[in-house]
Amino acid sequence: MKRKELIELIEKGETLNCEYKLHFSSHEKMAKEIIAFANTSGGTLILGVDDDRRIIGVESEKTETELVLDTVNNYCNPPVEVTFEYFDIKGKEIVVVSVPESKNKPHRIQDFKVELDIRTAQVYVRINDKSVPAGKEMIRVLRSHSSGPPLKKYSIGSIEKIIFKLLETTDSITVKDLSHAANISQRRASRSLVNLVRADLLLIHTNNNGVDYFTMRKM
């Protein structure tokens, strides 16, 4: 990244793929942002810029780098790969952390459990300019994308027909919507919707409250 590109990135404000912070008060808060980028489409974390885009700078590039490395290796599970760049803007030191989209999703806040527990895991994704908790369905989709290819063969049954009929009259549906309409358990509704995402027939989204919803994929 060139110095001019960094300045333009800061001027645009926070986005899906950009977050800036003057300072993190804990490893967990930093891990949340890094995990969200890794679980979504990657992003850039800029250290030394406050909320109103003022370039304040960091006290020590070395200290911030060590903090990030400690966070990605010990507070993210699995660890997240990152790269660093350093800039001097008007005498202020800026640390830029690049987080690529991960091939080993979902990442979560370290909970010291051998296996991911979908009920308790703190998984985050990026929505617009925010990092929000991923719902259970999103976690299942992230996990399925890392564990294997999309479903190539998928039979359409009565539940799937109800899903498509619902989406003819509304833009999106949730697990609760399907559970009520099809008179099935939320667990079964969740499994059906996730499988349709894996089959590339539906898209999954998460709102700002961490609630997953589904829309029809445009062909």
What is the rounded CA–CA span in Å between residue 36 and residue 45? 11
Percent of the chain with pLDDT over 90: 81
- Note the pLDDT of residue 86: 97
pLDDT tens for 203-218 read 999 888 888 999 998 7
47-51, 129-133, 134-138, 142-146: lowest mean pLDDT where?
142-146
Report the pLDDT averaged over residues 183-196: 94
Tokens 């908790």 belong to: 133
Q: Residue 107 corresponds to which amino acid?
A: H
Judge whether 100 and 42 are in contact, CB under 8 Å: yes
**Furthest C-alpha separation in the chain:** 65
Judge whether 56 and 65 are in contact, CB under 8 Å: no
Most confident listed range (66-75, 143-152, 199-208): 66-75
Pairing, β 18-21 against β 43-47: parallel
Report the pLDDT averaged over residues 58-85: 96
- Residue 153 pLDDT > 90: no
Mean pLDDT of the chain: 92
- pLDDT band for position 147 (50/70/90)? low
Same fold, 3-134 and 142-216: no
User: Among candidates 126, 205, 215, 122, which has minimal Cα distance to 171?
Assistant: 215
- Note the pLDDT of residue 47: 97
What superfamily in CATH does domain 3-134 come from? Answer: Schlafen, AAA domain (3.30.950.30)
Topology of 142-216 in CATH? Arc Repressor Mutant, subunit A (1.10.10)
> Phi first, then psi: what are they for 127, rounded to 5°?
-125, 115
Domain range list for the chain: 3-134, 142-216
pLDDT tens for 75-133 read 999 999 999 999 999 899 999 999 999 999 999 999 999 999 999 999 999 998 999 99
Give the DSSP letter string of the chain.
--HHHHHHHHHH--BTTEEEES--S-HHHHHHHHHHHHHTT-EEEEESB-TT--B---S-HHHHHHHHHHHHHHTEES----EEEEEEETTEEEEEEEEPPPSSPPPEE----SS--TTT---EEEETTEEEEPPHHHHHHHHHHHHSPPPS-----HHHHHHHHHHHHSS-B-HHHHHHHHT--HHHHHHHHHHHHHTTSEEEEE-TTS-EEEEEPP-
- Note the pLDDT of residue 219: 62
**How many residues comprise the chain?**
219
23-32, 44-53, 142-151, 154-163: lowest mean pLDDT where?
142-151
Judge whether 143 and 204 are in contact, CB under 8 Å: no
pTM score above 0.75: yes
- Residue 154 pLDDT > 80: no
